[in-house]
Amino acid sequence: MQRITSKENEFIKHVKKLKDKKYRDINNEYVIEGIKLVAEAIQEKAPIKQIILCDDCERNETLPKDLMYEIAKYECIYVTQKLFKYLTEVQAPQGILAIIEKTPVNTEIDYTQDIIVALNDIQDPGNLGAILRTVDSIGLKQILLSKGTADAYNPKVVRSTMGAIFRVKIIECEDLKQTLKEVKKHKFKIMVSSLQTENTIYDVDYRKKVVIIGNEANGVEREIQEFADEKVKIPMLGRTESLNASVAAGIILYEYVRQKQLS
C-alpha cells in the first residue's frame, strides 16, 4: 500500500494536471470521481490504472464494504484528507478517485442501430454529459462529436454522464460534414432541428436517421442545415423559442423511443 502526504509528489502533480485536456490527450488518461462512478468503472471493466483513496474516508467506512473488496484488486494509493481536497473538483467529495486509461477507440460507425446521434459544437460540459447519459438510456452505443464539441473526458462531463462514459463509444470527427456524407452512403438520412420548418419531431419516422444536436447559442451550423434531408422543430406553446441543448436532445430522442415501442 502506498501512502502520499505531499502535493509535491510526482504522481500527485500528474493527477492534478489531468484536469487539462492537452495533458489528458498526451497521457491517454482521465479522472473519475465518486463512489458510483468508480463502481460503474469496475462493473464495466474500464481500464483502471490507479485508485486514489482518502485515508479518513476509509476509517469512517464511507465506502461500501463490497466496493472496498473490488477496489483491493487494483493499485490503490492513499492520501491525506488535505491532499484529497487538493485533488478533488467537487464540493462534497466522497473520498475516492480513479485514473482511467483512454484506450484506442474503434472509430468505425455501427450502422446496425436505428439512429445515430451527432453533436455539432456542443460547448457546455454539463450539456454534453447529460446528452451522453440520455443516449445511453435509450440503448445507443455510440455518438459522433464534431471537432468543436467540448472534450468528453472533461471531469464535469464524466461526472454528468453517471457512468454512460463507459458504455457509449465516442467517435470524434475531424470534419463532421464529411463524416455525415459517409453515413448517408449507408442509407441514413440527416435530421436537424430548425425553426424554418412546419414539421415537428412527431411528423417524421426515426428509422435510419442521424439526429444532429446543435450548438447552444447558434444551433446546427448553416452548412449542415443545408445538407440535411429533414428539418424538424419541437412544438412549444409558450413564448420561449428555444430549449437547453440537452433538454431538446432528450425530447427528440424519446420521441424515437415512443415510436420504437409502438412498432
Instruction: Give Cβ neighbours of residue 10 (< 8 Å, ≥ 6 apart).
Output: none
Q: Is residue 108 part of a domain?
A: no
pLDDT at 61: 54
Which is more confident, 193 or 161?
161
Q: How many folded domains does the chain comprise?
A: 2
- Can you tell me which residue has the cell 440527416? 190
pLDDT tier, 194 (very low <50, low <70, confident <90, very high otherwise)? confident
Exposed / middle / buried, residue 175 (Cβ in 10 Å: 0-12, 13-18, 19+): exposed
Do 161 and 120 lie in one domain? The reply is yes
The secondary element (H helix, E strand) that includes residue 201 is none
Domain finish residue from 41, 66, 101: 101
Q: Is residue 202 part of a domain?
A: yes
Question: What does the mean pLDDT of the chain come to?
Answer: 92
**pTM given for the model:** 0.91
pLDDT tens per residue, range 205-231:
999 999 999 998 888 999 999 999 999
Domain finish residue from 34, 67, 101: 101
Number of helices and strands in the chain (H, E): 11, 11
Do 189 and 159 lie in one domain? The reply is yes
Segment 38-54 mean pLDDT? 96
pLDDT tier, 63 (very low <50, low <70, confident <90, very high otherwise)? confident
- Residue 38: left if φ>0, alpha if ψ -120 to 50, beta else—which one? alpha
pLDDT at 93: 87
Q: Is residue 21 part of a domain?
A: yes
CATH number at residue 53: 3.30.1330.30
Alpha-helical (H) ranges within the chain are 10-17, 21-27, 35-43, 55-59, 65-71, 81-87, 125-137, 155-161, 176-184, 222-227, 245-262
Q: What angle do CA 231, 130, 171 make, to 5 degrees?
A: 70
Q: Which domain holds residue 149?
A: 115-262
Asked if the model's pLDDT at residue 155 lies above 90, the reply is yes
Do 83 and 42 lie in one domain? The reply is yes
CATH number at residue 256: 3.40.1280.10
